[in-house]
Every structure is written in structure tokens, then in C-alpha cells.
Amino acid sequence: SIDSETDLFKWFILEISKLSKKRNNEKSALPLYEFDFPDLSPFLQPEFKEHVASSSKPKIKIETSLQFLFFLQYMNFEERLVLVMKNYFVKDYISLSSQVLEIEKEKISEIIEDAKKQYSLIFNKWKNNIPFPESNGDKTLDILSKKFIDALQKRDKSLLENIFLNDIELTVSTEKRTGNEFVSIACLDLLKKSGKILCFNEIRLNGCLGILVWSRSDNSSEWSRVAFVLFLGNEKLICSMKWYFDGHLFRNIICENPIIS
């Protein structure tokens, strides 16, 4: 039962973990050689994180970066669950994890050690494509984002190649592209798919930058959201990206409609 003293956030995490245990246990870890971005949740924008954090007792800071989620893809269920609990509940994660997994508390330390070993393997494999930290400052990222938007607006292959890592990774649905030239060509093809008249908004989601793509026809003044591009970069180059055409995702991103000049 829930009373006035219950920490709703902790209760929710614990209960949803128990209910989803069977399904998540059946979800195998992503193979180390396969690159992908983790599933996105629009409610992880800052506005929603503040709302969730304010309902917790004691007040906690919600931090769920894309880098954190990226590593979880390559973990098994037990490792994923313990790391998530540890991320949110530093003091109580051992007892909470043992409740959900129905194992002795001593076993949690073993799971953490296994997760650390897997973390090292993942980091060594994908450290160039998932830079840590993403950049030394927002200013550097903003400059890179503006260059990216400019290249997309101009649909210029050479401009894209100039800001892409040589071994850049691109994911679109189940398709993958690797390499500067192949990814540049793919971006131009994706722009054609998005529409003739396009507009781009910079969005920050899950701890990294993204671009919301809008489209309208020649005889219309209404803009429609047609794609979302999430990307990660180092000091100078974009290292990896994913294009989303899932309307349910980008319709729920908080952003004002473009203004036609």
C-alpha cells in the first residue's frame, strides 16, 4: 500500500522492475560488434526530469545520460537492473536489487564486478563513436551543431564530410552505415525522404544534442515534424548519429513550431 510517507519515485521504480522482470530477462544483450543508440524516452528532457525529481523523497537529481543508456544495451538483465538501481539509489541499490532479482545481497557485488568488466570491453570498442565526455563545453557543441544544420540546409555532401569522423556510425531503423562518405550520402538521401522545404531546430535530449526536422509543402504555411536526428561529437567532429522517423517520438518533444519569415 502507498501512504503519505512513501517515496513515490522509489516505489514506482521497484514495482515496475518487478513487473517487467520476465520480459527484460528475455531481452538479450546487444552483441559487442553491433553499434546502435539506446531507446529514447522524450520524458527525459529537463522539464520532465525536474518534475520527476520533485516528487521523490528525499529530493534526488535525475541523471540518465545517453552514454549511460548506451552501455546498458550491451549488458545482461541482472547487470542492467543493478546499474539502474545504483544510478538512482546510491544508498539503497543493493537491497532494492536483491528484492527484484530475488537473490542474496552478497551476489550484487559480483554482478557489479561483471558489469565493470563488460563496461571496459564496450568502452574500448566504441570510445571513438561515443566520446566521453561529449565535449569540453557547450560552446564547442553549439558550433558543431550549427555547422551540421548549415550542411543539412544546403544539402552539401562536402560540408557533411568535413564535420564527420572517418569511422562515423549511422543508424536508421534496422539499417547501419559506417564511414564518412557512406554516411554523408545516406544523410542526403534521408533529407530527400523528409521533404522539399525543410527547417531544423536544435534540441537537447538524453544528455546530447539532436536536430528536429520540419517539413512543409510549397502551398502550405504549416510545418510538420518529419524526423529527429540524435548525434554525438568530440571537439571537432560528429562521431555517431541516429535518424528517427517515429512520429510518436518526435511529436512528444517539447519545441515551438518554426516561424516563417
Domains and CATH numbers, the chain: 8-126 (no CATH), 138-250 (3.10.450.50)
**Which range is least confidently modeled, 39-43, 107-111, 240-244?**
39-43
**pTM of the predicted protein model:** 0.79
pLDDT band at 48 (very low <50, low <70, confident <90, very high): very low
Q: Are strands 238-244 and 164-172 parallel, antiparallel or unpaired?
A: parallel
pLDDT at 97 over 50: yes
What single letter denotes the amino acid at residue 225? R
pLDDT band at 3 (very low <50, low <70, confident <90, very high): low
pLDDT at 8 over 50: yes
pLDDT at 151 over 80: yes
What integer best gives the mean pLDDT of the chain?
A: 83
Mean pLDDT, residues 145-167: 96
Q: Which are the contacts of 259, defined by CB distance < 8 A and separation ≥ 6?
A: none
pLDDT at 176 over 80: yes
Mean pLDDT, residues 184-206: 91
